[in-house]
């Protein structure tokens, strides 16, 4: 192994360990099934219109654990296929922590991206920088500290691309055909499979250009079988194929009739500038913390490639056109169908390849872009407490006291359980209107923030000095029992 390769590997290992260190809050805690179950049965998923919101992050780990304990796949989150949720349930069973499996999924995704990048760049430095952009993109490394379905879906997406491109060299490569089908089916079984249409269209284009279009049939057959097999526990519980088909039709109807009304401009703002609203109806725009300058460049760079090549497809650039078509169709789907910022995770790895290819000869611009991405990475890991204060205020005013408990510093509420904490609020009839005042400055090197808490009651206001501190790099409120004195 060359010394340059060793340096590359050591840098990647260092960055990976850095990501784990700054994300440690989720890895040092044990799975609190009592709290998560309590949250589920009081949340909007179980009680329509509930003010107590359970995020997808918590929902999928709960569902996966329930599945592995024998519950029906359609008992919790029936609208989402089960494969990704199995991973998080397995992680809880093995390690009593749903997040550990995300580390392995992230490493496997990085390795898969390495093999994918090698198919485009023979230059080792180009490979290195593409992998570096991938690793330091908040959208991607954030998944290490999440139990969302985007990471397992990304892994199977990258694997599918690798196996499809392998068909370029051997038309009778049966193993690649089977693996392309397995990865495609697994991709569909992670989330509601709307994006299989994007991949299917791009696959048809690629295989047609290679004059092996007929391979789409065995790939599709294998993918369909894998998708159905992920529901095997459902069939083993005695359910029939007809019941499963009815359940799948219900899922389609769920998305057809229950979709969010999203504004075209809002989606453009999310992708180009990184501003968005959350999905729970709030009117406030937030800076999308996982956004980076690579997002708009991932849209522009494939277009530039098409223009430079005058839309002429040949055997030398077919892989680029395949990825370019994927990128642009994804973008169209994002604009005209449901979109959340994290969905961009499927487009970004493709965009990075075009960005590296486009800017490689413009070294000043290239290294400036790399510097910006590194800065965004560190600011992501060391944010101000603004967003945490927003959700603290919301949980307080909506009487979500059990959730407020887990937003407070452990040492300041250790005398209570989360249920006892709620009882203290209810016994003291705490006012439901509060305000936080904190400095909106930069907290990159700060672990403590000081401000003012104003409690409003019967037209009077009562002010307290209040602190926020980082606990395992996560902002928490330092609780003061004087807040109970009303």
Homologous superfamily, domain 386-484: NTF2-like; domain 1 (3.10.450.100)
Q: Show Cβ contacts of residue 291 under 8 Å, excluding neighbours closer than 6 positions.
A: 138, 139, 270, 273, 274, 341
- What separation in angstroms does the CA of 271 have from each of 290, 291, 295, 395? 11, 8, 6, 29
- Report the C-alpha gap between 244 and 366 in whole angstroms: 51
- Report the C-alpha gap between 52 and 40 in whole angstroms: 9
Note whether 36 and 62 are within 8 A (CB): yes
- Report the C-alpha gap between 344 and 291 in whole angstroms: 9
Q: Give the SS3 label for residue 442.
A: coil
What are the residue ranges in the chain where pLDDT is below 70?
1, 168-172, 258-263, 278-284, 429-431, 484-486
Q: What angle do CA 187, 103, 98 make, to 5 degrees?
A: 85
- Confidence at residue 460, expressed as pLDDT on a 0 to 100 scale: 80
- Closest listed residue to residue 246, CA positions, set 74, 36, 445: 74
- Confidence at residue 259, expressed as pLDDT on a 0 to 100 scale: 56
- Report the C-alpha gap between 470 and 333 in whole angstroms: 39
- Report the C-alpha gap between 43 and 51 in whole angstroms: 7
- Confidence at residue 132, expressed as pLDDT on a 0 to 100 scale: 98
């Amino acid at each position: 192994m060359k010394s340059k390769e060793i340096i590359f590997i050591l840098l990647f290992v260092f960055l990976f360990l850095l990501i784990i260190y700054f994300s440690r809050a989720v890895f040092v805690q044990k799975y609190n099934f009592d709290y998560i179950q309590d949250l589920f049965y009081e949340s909007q998923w179980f009680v329509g219109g509930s003010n107590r919101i359970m995020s997808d992050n918590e929902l999928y780990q709960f569902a996966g654990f329930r599945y592995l304990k024998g519950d029906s796949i359609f008992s919790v989150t029936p609208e989402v296929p089960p494969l990704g949720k199995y991973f998080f349930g397995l992680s809880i069973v093995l390690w009593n922590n749903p997040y550990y499996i995300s580390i392995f999924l992230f490493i496997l995704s990085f390795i898969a991206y390495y093999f994918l990048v090698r198919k485009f760049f023979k230059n080792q430095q180009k490979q290195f920088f593409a992998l570096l952009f991938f690793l330091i993109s908040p959208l991607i490394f954030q998944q290490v500290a999440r139990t969302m379905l985007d990471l397992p879906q990304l892994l199977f997406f990258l694997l599918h691309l690798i196996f499809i491109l392998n068909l370029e060299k051997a038309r009778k490569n049966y193993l690649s055909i089977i693996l392309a089908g397995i990865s495609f089916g697994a991709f569909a079984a992670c989330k509601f499979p709307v994006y299989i249409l994007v991949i299917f269209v791009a696959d048809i284009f690629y295989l047609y250009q290679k004059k092996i279009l007929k391979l789409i049939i065995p790939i599709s057959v294998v993918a369909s079988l894998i998708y159905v097999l992920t529901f095997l526990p459902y069939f083993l519980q005695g359910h029939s194929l007809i019941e499963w088909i009815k359940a799948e039709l219900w899922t389609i109807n769920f998305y057809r009739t229950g979709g969010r009304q999203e504004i075209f401009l809002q989606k453009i703002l999310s992708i180009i500038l990184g501003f968005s609203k959350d999905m729970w109806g709030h009117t406030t725009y937030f800076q999308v913390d996982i956004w980076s300058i690579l997002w708009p460049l991932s849209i522009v760079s494939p277009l530039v490639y098409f223009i430079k090549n005058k839309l002429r497809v040949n055997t030398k650039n077919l892989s680029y056109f395949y990825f370019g078509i994927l990128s642009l169709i994804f973008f169209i789907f994002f604009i005209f169908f449901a979109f959340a910022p994290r969905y961009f995770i499927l487009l970004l790895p493709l965009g990075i390849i075009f960005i590296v290819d486009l800017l490689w000869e413009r070294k000043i611009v290239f290294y400036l872009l790399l510097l910006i991405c590194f800065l965004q990475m560190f600011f992501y890991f060391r944010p101000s407490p603004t967003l945490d204060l927003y959700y603290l205020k919301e949980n307080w005013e909506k009487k979500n006291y059990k959730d407020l408990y887990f937003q407070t510093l452990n040492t300041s509420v250790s005398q209570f359980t989360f249920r006892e904490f709620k009882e203290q609020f209810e016994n003291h009839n705490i006012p439901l209107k509060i305000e936080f005042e904190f400095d909106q400055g930069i907290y990159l090197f700060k672990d403590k923030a000081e401000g003012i808490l104003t409690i409003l009651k019967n037209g009077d206001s009562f002010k307290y000095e209040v602190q926020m501190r980082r606990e395992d790099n996560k902002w928490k409120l330092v609780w003061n029992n004087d807040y109970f004195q009303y």
